[in-house]
Amino acid sequence: MFSFLNLNTVGLCPRFFVSIADTPQPWQTGFQDPATATMQGIIDLHHDIVFFMIVILTIVSWFCLRIISRFHYTTQAKPERINHNTNLELFWSIIPSLIVLSIALPSLTLIYSMDDRVQRPGLTVKIIGRQWYWSYEMRDHFVNKTKVDMDSLINLMDYPVRDRI
């Protein structure tokens, strides 16, 4: 009756659904799709920094190739002596400062926006490693501001808790 449901089709169904999900793939070069605005900001900051990196790499490579080609021993070219060129010194100082500033401002904005999201956590668990065991302190921020000390982590929502050391 259901001849199209053979073992191969049933075996491929979970693989199909996993391939639709945004999972990391072997040899993946980009980021996964962001789930939060913070991750989108991290991805945008990464792209901005990579842009500046490529521009700087291109300029430095061009300068190196130009110097190698112009001052090769077969061309017999002599470099000029430059002393106290104010325009060159301003260019050499201001451009890197602007590049660092254009990288620092978005990164600081992102860091402070991440800090704003954690101002009022729903639950804070302080985990302390003792000599032979772990101890846990949990503060209740909303009800009566009490501190609960315990020697084992209580699973409040019946979700499995996995400890990784």
Boundaries of every domain in the chain:
37-78+85-116, 120-159
User: Out of 88-92, 95-99, 122-126, 134-138, which region has the weakest mean confidence (pLDDT)?
Assistant: 122-126
Measure the CA–CA gap between 126 and 134, rounded to whole angstroms: 10
Query: With contact defined as beta carbons under 8 Å apart, do 135 and 128 qualify?
Result: yes
Can you read off the two tokens belonging to residue 141? 């921020």
Query: With contact defined as beta carbons under 8 Å apart, do 46 and 31 qualify?
Result: yes
pLDDT at 143 over 60: no
* DSSP at 133: S
What pTM, to 2 d.p., does this model score? 0.57
Query: With contact defined as beta carbons under 8 Å apart, do 137 and 148 qualify?
Result: yes
CA distances 6 to 9, 10, 13, 17, 139, Å, are 6, 6, 11, 18, 54
pLDDT, mean over the chain: 76
Q: Taking CA 75 as the corner, what is the angle to CA 74 and CA 79, rounded to the nearest 5 degrees?
A: 125
Of 154 and 134, the structure prediction assigns the larger pLDDT to 134
